[in-house]
Amino acid sequence: MGNLVKVLFFFLLTTHLWSKELTIGSKAFSESIILSEMLAQVLEENYNYKINRKMNLGGTKVLFDALDGGDIDLYPDYTGTGYIMLLKMQGETDPQAVYDIVKKEYENRFGITWSPSLGFNNTYAIAVRENDPRFKEIKTISDIIPIANKLRFVAAHESMERKDGYKAFKEFYKIPFDDNKAKGVDSGLMYSAIRDDHADMIMSYSTDGRIKAYNLKILEDDKKFFPPYYAAFLVKEKTLEDHPALVEIFELFDDFISEEEMIEMNDLVDRAKREPKNIAHNFLVQKGIIKGKIKKPQLSKGFIAYTLSKKNYLLKITKEHLLLSFGALFLALLVSIPTGVALTRFPKLSKLVFPIINTVQTIPSLALLGFLIPLMGIGYLPAVIALFLYSLLPLIRNTYSGIEGVNSNYIEASRGLGLTPMQILFKVEIPLAMPIILAGVRTASVIVIGTATLAALVGAGGLGEPIFRGVATVNGNLILLGAIPSAILAIVVDKFWEVLEKKLVSPGIRL
């Protein structure tokens, strides 16, 4: 009886400990990361939670599907985004009414609730250069109509397709933009574009610190096209019931951050190149929410010094990248070599297989990941499957071509010597085809290692993580922190296969 009690006690204890673990996601821009970091740090510091961070994920649909599918537990979003993009509603502009609608509809439709508003409205805003003489007398969006067809318009990729984005905005205001001059780019790059005179007008975010830093002017939304975008955290109702600490934190965060404070924090990350986690930490310490010391900004470093300071992080994401790349490549080799051999035995089958794998190769990487997320969620699995699919073509085609290219006289001579079909395959055909097969392996390896950088968009980590963070904040050091190791890794792996080829292929065949 005593042992049974101990077992039950241990079970209850471990169940309780396991329950104090949450996964927090964010979108791939500074403000979203800062807000997610605030929530994560309060849970860690004040409630002893273990937090799994899935930062820099793709757009709104990726985050929502991840929350709905249980891959993440919380993430910050905006009432206007939920109202227009997910609920596909429009017309309401009162902030409280929009909040009430999204809260009620999300709970009824998805079993997901919204925390109270964090206090600031990060709506879309049309920004132009303050010192551009063309906009000297222009105050409102309607004022640009006479010159609109000459303007270069730039917005974030997602904004080009959203129901509150470029197309709807253009139609609502009846602005005669030239669509050939309207471009979608990464949200961080659009600020560089207007600063450097590669764009005349951008669909900005009202709390972005670069508006002031780059001397931009916000045009008044005189017809009230953009709905309110008050920030809040999304969480499943079941998760909220299981973790009462979240209710306390949501009450704490209610009307917690002003627009001015959010603008300042965004500016410190985007322009001053400070770490989002440090900015979140300092804000919470200053507000007296968590204990600790203010983290001072580090002096500007060269790339080598910066890399050395990030060595632990670099080691972590390199391991993730290797697991992704070699996991996909290993699966592809298991499938592709036998498939390539089988196609040489059943030629009619090749007319079906090759069109399929050729088609897979033409699907853009981001689109393929987008297709896989609803089926497999986010993280390692969809990334590995996508990389596996991309490596099939060079592996299968080279295996097939290599064996098909073996001189038939060698095969006939082998039969004359009494070799069985399996012996001919392994002792004659595969050895003679090995240089071509290995050429396919080398090609597939480089493709997989390069494409694996996109895995960061679905929460699989890897060397793409600092690249996307760097692009979002226009931080060259971060971009190079991921890009250079990725390139070096591809070169090293290619050289590895080159050396292995000399071991596997006899000198006579190489000649």
Q: Tell me which of 173, 190, 219 is where a domain ends.
A: 219
Distance CA 250, CA 244 (A): 10
Report if residue 302 sits inside a domain.
no
Q: Give the residue from 448, 453, 452 showing the smallest Cα distance to 464.
A: 453
**CA nearest 429: which of 395, 397, 394, 404?**
404
Q: Yes or no: say if 463 and 448 are a contact pair by the CB < 8 Å rule.
A: no
Question: In this structure, what CATH number is given to the domain that contains residue 326?
Answer: 1.10.3720.10
Pair 52, 34 in one domain? yes
The answer to whether residues 209 and 233 belong to one domain is: no
How is residue 123 annotated by DSSP? -
303 part of a folded domain? no
- Residue 127's SS3 state is strand
Q: What's the pLDDT tens digit per position in 276-290? A: 999 999 999 999 999
> Does residue 412 sit in the same domain as residue 316?
yes
Q: Which parts of the chain sit beneath pLDDT 50?
A: 1, 4-18
Q: Which residues contact 8 (CB under 8 A, 6 or more apart)?
A: none
CA dihedral 364, 367, 368, 369 (to 10 degrees): 120
75 and 130 in a single domain? The answer is no
> CA dihedral defined by 327, 330, 334, 339, rounded to 10 degrees?
100
Separation between Cα atoms, residue 229 and residue 233, nearest integer Å: 13
Q: What is the pLDDT of residue 502?
A: 84
**CB-based contacts of 474-477 (< 8 A; 24+ apart in sequence):** 474/188, 474/189, 474/191, 474/192, 474/270, 475/273, 477/273, 477/301, 477/303, 477/306
| Domain count across the chain | 3
Determine the pLDDT at residue 3: 53
DSSP, res 460 = -
pLDDT at 7: 44
For residues 31 and 61, is the Cβ–Cβ distance under 8 A? no
Residue 295 · residue 274 · CB < 8 Å:
no
Task: Please give the helix or strand (H or E) that residue 249 lies within, else none.
Answer: helix 244-253
Q: CA 210 to CA 505: how far, in whole Å?
A: 58
**318 and 419, same domain (yes or no):** yes
| Token pair belonging to 496 | 């590895």
Backbone φ and ψ for 138, nearest 5 degrees, come out as: -90, 125
At residue 371, the pLDDT reads 79
pLDDT for 20: 87
Query: Whose CA is closest to 76, among 125, 33, 123, 122?
Result: 33
Task: Please tell me the predicted confidence (pLDDT) of residue 2.
Answer: 52
234 forms bridges with which residues in the sheet?
75, 114
Q: How many CB atoms lie within 10 A of CB 182?
A: 19
> Is 505 found in the same domain as 385?
yes
What's the pTM? 0.78
Residue 299 has what pLDDT?
Answer: 64
> Is residue 39 one of the residues assigned to a domain?
yes
Give yes or no: residues 31 and 109 share one domain. yes
Q: Which residues contact 5 (CB under 8 A, 6 or more apart)?
A: none
Nearest to 266 by CA among 341, 191, 198, 335: 191
Residues in Cβ contact with 425 at an 8 Å cutoff, skipping those fewer than 6 apart: 341
What does the block give as tokens for 45? 């510091």
Same structural domain, 132 and 113: no
293 and 213 both lie in a single domain: no
User: 368 and 421 in one domain?
Assistant: yes
Domain-embedded: residue 370? yes
Domain enclosing residue 139, as ranges: 124-219
Residue 37 belongs to a domain with what CATH number? 3.40.190.10
- pLDDT of 19 reads 55
Element at 137 (helix H, strand E): none
Are 328 and 291 contained in the same domain? no
